[in-house]
Structure 1
Amino acid sequence: MKISEKLAELGLELPAVAAPVAAYLPALKDGELVMTSGQLPLKDGELVATGVMGTADAPSVEEAAQAARQCALNAIAAAAEVAGGVDNLAAAIKVTGFVASAPDFNGQPQVINGASELLAEVFGSGHARSAVGVAALPLNASCEVEVTFRLA
């Protein structure tokens, strides 16, 4: 099944690629790989989750996982743009997820599972992954995800 067909089956539509907020490219093709820059949980131009996990103003782990899912969808869109279309992507091979975290928060893997689960649903395979806690993220986002894809 083509990736575009799988996205449609899942009821997912690729969003427009967000314009960079600094000096970088949203994605870059190099040989058989496409690497995305860190994708924030933007949907329709708005962050879907903000705040530092483990603090009073943070989203729940479930809400942050949904935000990580949005990050992954944004990463697919960015990669598809430089790959010449989503059907030119074969697999997600490496995911790095960053979670804005208070010192005692250790649920980074559960948050980034949102991205990993979406990518597994879309591409039908697993990937290598890192889930990292950081003090802060751009625009006060709760999470950020970057993905390396293999081209078809």
Structure 2
Amino acid sequence: MGRWTARLAELGIELPEVAAPAGAYAPAVRSGAHVYTAGQVPFVGGELELTGKVGAEVDPEDAKRCARTCALNALAAVHGLIGLDSVVRVVKVVGFVASAEGFTGQPGVLNGASELLGEVFGDAGVHARSAVGVAELPMGVPVEVELIVEVG
């Protein structure tokens, strides 16, 4: 067991199965020293965790939990492609939040993903990030997250 998979076990976190693509794309692609994941939504056991807009049907704390789930799904995509223990560092997180009119707490929602990456990778999990509010996301989900990681 490598460094990151051991850390997941220590935290009691199991990576989910890689979600099957909902279109003509790959869950993750390697280019040089980086892996880029497709946008991951909050699937748990093949079912959507929540749907709706944050600030209306979805509470920001519930959306934060969904962002964590999205990040786990993104890590699963990385693991499925190259093995999680090949990760050198998390470079960038991009998150989209389906936002009700007037909702401006997108960064707090995306902290669910960022905090998970910090728990797992420590200093190597500190990353650049964009937290973007959008009108709609696929399947009505409240959050979508993608990662860029450097690999060795």
Per the TM superposition, whether the score is higher than 0.5 is yes
Verify the 8 A CA contact 1:99 1:142 in the aligned structure 2: yes
1:92 Cα deviation after fit: 1.0
Q: Which residue of 2 aligns with 1:28?
A: 29
1:91 Cα deviation after fit: 1.5
Give SS of 2:9's match: helix
Please give the alpha-carbon distance, in whole angstroms, between the structure 1 residues aligned to 2:6 and 2:24: 34
Please give the alpha-carbon distance, in whole angstroms, between the structure 2 residues aligned to 1:122 and 1:25: 24
How many residue pairs align between the two structures?
Answer: 149
Amino acid at match of 2:127: H
Amino acid at match of 1:59: V
TM-score by length of 1: 0.95
Q: Which residue of 2 aligns with 1:90?
A: 88
**Equivalence map 1:100-111=2 (5 Å):** 100-111=98-109
Please give the alpha-carbon distance, in whole angstroms, between the structure 1 residues aligned to 2:150 and 2:101: 35
Residues 10-64 of structure 1, C-alpha deviations (whole Å, 9 max, x = no match) = 1101110000111111100111100001000111011112101122xx2211111
Please give the alpha-carbon distance, in whole angstroms, between the structure 1 residues aligned to 2:50 and 2:143: 8
1:103 Cα deviation after fit: 2.4
Verify the 8 A CA contact 1:90 1:123 in the aligned structure 2: no
Structure 1: state its 5+ residue gaps.
Answer: none
Residues 127-152 of structure 1, C-alpha deviations (whole Å, 9 max, x = no match) = 00000000000111000000001113
1:81 Cα deviation after fit: 1.2
Amino acid at match of 2:94: T
Please give the alpha-carbon distance, in whole angstroms, between the structure 2 residues aligned to 1:122 and 1:141: 25
Please give the alpha-carbon distance, in whole angstroms, between the structure 2 residues aligned to 1:115 and 1:92: 12
Q: Which residue of 2 aligns with 1:146?
A: 146
Verify the 8 A CA contact 1:33 1:150 in the aligned structure 2: yes
Structure 2: state its 5+ residue gaps.
Answer: none
Could you tell me the percent identity over the aligned residues? 53
Q: Which residue of 1 aligns with 2:134?
A: 134
Please give the alpha-carbon distance, in whole angstroms, between the structure 1 residues aligned to 2:33 and 2:136: 32
Give SS of 2:13's match: coil
TM-score by length of 2: 0.95
- After TM superposition, which residue ranges in structure 1, 4 or more long, deviate above 6 angstroms? none
Amino acid at match of 2:103: F
